[in-house]
């Protein structure tokens, strides 16, 4: 699931 | 969100505001590399493609719009605003920045976390951002000393990714599975490229002289 996490950083 | 990332985002925001302040108030972009600004516009355009498809938070979306809007406005100012355009140092700002774009795109096609359109372009934006400052640093060496606002702009721009490195260290120790080698290495390279600028910038603070 590491890959599917949302990109929460700018 | 942690204090390092917030500080990083605020530092990045400050760098953009300092540059917009300089260009908008004194109508001058002397010492600023248009090529670096163009690269940054590409960085944000390819990094925030998911702005309308994946909502993270109001803060996240707001900041993406600010970075997109400011980077494209700065390019517009430097290219088309009659007063600002005159102060652009075209003869000195000659770094072949398009030679940076292609290798970053090829590298993104070879090294990425997932082979999807969005992910490859997002990875491309990371690699491009790492080297986007090069035209500006080359221009800085050619024009020798620069005004305070431009110096502060570069300092803040270099500092924000350094704060992001602290954020990645913090998240690595506090969140399981938080491992992003590509982002970390690109961020480290980006920050290291500012090393000699930081050295001279601090000398200026200590010596009280202009940035030589």
- State the nearest Cα–Cα gap between A8 and chain B, in angstroms: 6
List pLDDT tens digits, range B63-122.
Answer: 999 999 999 999 999 999 999 999 999 999 999 999 999 999 999 999 999 999 999 999
Structure-token pair, residue B37: 């600004």
Contacts of B183 in chain A (CB under 8 A): 9
Sequence-separated (6 or more) residues with CB below 8 Å from residue B195: none
- Check CB contact of B175 with chain A, cutoff 8 Å: no
Output the CA–CA distances (angstroms, integers) from residue B5 to B8, B105, B197, in the order listed. Answer: 5, 27, 22
Name the band, by pLDDT with cuts 50, 70 and 90, for residue B210.
low
What is the four-CA torsion angle of B94, B98, B104, B108, rounded to 10 degrees? 160
What is the rounded average pLDDT of the residues A1-10?
A: 73
B122/A7 CB distance under 8 A: yes
Cα separation, B85 vs B75, in Å, equals 10
List pLDDT tens digits, range B186-207.
Answer: 999 999 999 999 998 998 877 6
B54/A6 CB distance under 8 A: yes
Provide the percentage of residues in chain B whose pLDDT is more than 90: 90
Phi-psi region of B208 (alpha: psi -120 to 50; beta: other; left: phi over 0): left
Per the prediction, chain B carries an average pLDDT of: 95
- Check CB contact of B21 with chain A, cutoff 8 Å: no
Sign of the four-CA dihedral A8, B3, B6, B8: negative
Is residue B173 over pLDDT 50? Answer: yes
Name the band, by pLDDT with cuts 50, 70 and 90, for residue A2.
very low
């Amino acid at each position: 699931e590491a890959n599917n996490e949302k990109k929460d950083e700018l | 969100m942690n204090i390092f990332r917030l500080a990083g985002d605020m530092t990045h925001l400050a760098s953009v505001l300092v540059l917009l302040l300089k260009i908008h108030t004194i109508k001058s972009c002397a010492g600023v590399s248009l090529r670096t600004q163009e690269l940054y516009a590409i960085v944000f355009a390819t990094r925030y493609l998911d702005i309308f498809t994946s909502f993270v938070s109001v803060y996240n979306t707001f900041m993406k719009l600010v970075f997109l809007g400011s980077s494209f406005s700065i390019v517009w100012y430097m290219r088309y605003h009659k007063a600002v355009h005159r102060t652009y140092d075209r003869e000195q700002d000659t770094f072949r920045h398009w030679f940076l774009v292609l290798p970053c795109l090829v590298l993104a096609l070879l090294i990425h976390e997932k082979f999807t359109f969005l992910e490859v372009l997002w990875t491309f934006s990371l690699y491009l951002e790492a080297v986007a400052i090069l035209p500006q640093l080359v221009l800085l060496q050619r024009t020798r000393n620069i005004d305070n606002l431009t110096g502060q702009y570069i300092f803040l721009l270099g500092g924000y990714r350094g704060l992001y490195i602290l954020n990645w260290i913090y998240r690595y120790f506090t969140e399981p599975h938080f491992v992003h080698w590509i982002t970390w290495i690109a961020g480290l390279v980006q920050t290291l490229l500012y090393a000699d600028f930081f050295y001279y910038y601090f000398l200026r603070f200590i010596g009280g002289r202009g940035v030589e």
